[in-house]
Amino acid sequence: MNAHVKADLAPLHSADATTAEEALERQEVVDSESATRVALQNTLLTPRFYTTNYDEMDAIDVSSVRTTWDALINEMKADPNKGHFKKNADWDHIDWDGMEPKLKAEFIDFLISSCTAEFSGCVLYKEMKRRGKNEDITTLFQLMARDEARHAGFINDALREAGIAVNLGFLTQAKKYTYFRPKFIYYATYLSEKIGYARYITIYRHLEKNPELRFHPIFKWFREWCNDEFRHGEAFALLMKTDPKLTSGVNKLWIKFFLTAVYSTMSVRDHQRPAFHAALGVDPKQYGYDVFQKTSEISRQVFPLTLDIDSPRWQPNLDRIEAANHQIAQGRKQGGIGGWFKRQAGSAKAAVAFISLLTIPSIPNQVPDNPRLQPAY
Ligand SMILES: [Fe+2]
Ligand SMILES: [Fe+2]
């Protein structure tokens, strides 16, 4: 972009943009190599970028859920959060240099990983909008891409104050894309939207009661933020409703697999940030349990089963996966043949514990005819 155009665009913030493209153009490119390098990482635990069979997704017919669909789209078009995701008088000054170094490192890692996850949604939704011809689908995906671009842009605003930012344009080009067939996109994205809602609202409510623990102003934005994620999740619930096969038969096993994978990944990731959770006054285990409970309750709108997180085998196996992950990290640090063996042993332990989680009998659920829910937490 040339300087002239940039000057013309400068007064408009990504929060006020009405499309994802516009929001991304308003992102000042402050390349921060280290942050972008972290965002580029692809491991089992880092947010990924996805690609899918766009033609198959474009062929979805939403007429069986038409009334509910139109109401949701109208709600999104009304754009209740336009202009919300930018700094205002509520944005307190942060003394980044004075922040305890371990907390600072973990918090920055949290922001980079959140920004990557938001942007991952943006890239996928924007691409579906670009490739699609089905107006119902392209309208939805364009609205969701708009929201995710604003979210990613806002996190980058916060990072920039610490002197870093994720280069979103570069990330689009350079990050590896993972192919997921459409039904896996539905399960994974539905869950990530709903668990995102549950995570943000749990932190928001906790800090509402304990405002002295709010060590950064971005948490004040979490309520409206998670309402966007809630709506995105509603859209995927409706998409799954259009085809009963997606939530029956062998696909029940896939749903169980995705629930288990998403919950255990979150648990391991959160345990990697002890200083961050200590500063918020949050016990990651209790936090995980609360978030899983909310997500399970919400997911009963469309999934024919929930995981039994009260099973005596649930928490011990989550703990085993976390310990195995710690061992893998140590092996990586150690390097050499000894480190390699440590990593292999850790991976095997994690796999056994994960399979053990999968074999816990799930709780069957009678799905309601109308899936629509309102955020209630
Ligand atoms: Fe988002
Ligand atoms: Fe979202």
Mean pLDDT computed over 177-193: 95
Which pLDDT belongs to residue 365? 96
Contacts of 18 (CB under 8 A, 6+ apart): 79, 82, 146
Predicted confidence band of residue 76 (pLDDT cuts 50, 70, 90) = very high
Distance 176 CA to ligand 2 centre (A): 21
Could you read off the pLDDT of 36-48 as tens digits, one per residue? Answer: 777 777 666 678 8
Q: H-helix or E-strand containing 334?
A: helix 314-334
Query: Which of 4-8, 71-75, 182-186 has the weakest average pLDDT?
Result: 4-8
Structure tokens at 31: 């390349």
HSE of 322, CA atoms in CB hemisphere, 13 A: 20
Contact 203, 223 (CB under 8 A): no
Q: What are phi and psi of 26, to 5 degrees?
A: -80, 0
Calculate what percentage of the chain has a pLDDT beyond 90: 79
Mean pLDDT computed over 14-21: 85
Mean pLDDT computed over 263-274: 94
Structure tokens at 203: 């932190």
Neighbours of ion ligand 2 (CB under 5 A): 193, 229, 232
Residue 284 above 50 pLDDT? Answer: yes
* pTM reported for the whole predicted model: 0.91
**CA–CA distance from 377 to each of 199, 200, 208, 369 (Å)?**
11, 10, 13, 22
Distance 343 CA to ligand 1 centre (A): 33
The ligand with the least distance to the CA atom of 231 is: 2
Give the C-alpha separation, 306 to 325, whole Å.
25
Contacts of 92 (CB under 8 A, 6+ apart): 217
Report the residue count for the chain.
377
> Residue written as tokens 């990593």?
343
Q: What residues does each domain of the chain span?
A: 3-211+219-240
158-176 CB burial, b ≥16 within 10 A, e <16: bbbebebbbbbeebbeebe
Q: Report the 10 Å Cβ neighbour count for 140.
A: 26
Could you read off the pLDDT of 108-144 as tens digits, one per residue? Answer: 999 999 999 999 999 999 999 999 999 999 999 999 9
The ligand with the least distance to the CA atom of 125 is: 2
Give the C-alpha separation, 6 to 43, whole Å.
36
Distance 20 CA to ligand 1 centre (A): 12
Which pLDDT belongs to residue 164? 87
The ligand with the least distance to the CA atom of 194 is: 2
Give the C-alpha separation, 234 to 309, whole Å.
23
Strand partners, 178: 50
Distance 151 CA to ligand 2 centre (A): 9
HSE of 133, CA atoms in CB hemisphere, 13 A: 3
Structure tokens at 102: 């371990």
Q: Which residue has the higher pLDDT, 28 or 164?
A: 164
| Burial of residue 40, with CB atoms counted within 10 A of its CB: 0-12 exposed, 13-18 middle, 19 or more buried | middle
Distance 288 CA to ligand 2 centre (A): 20
Which pLDDT belongs to residue 56? 96
Contact 136, 128 (CB under 8 A): no
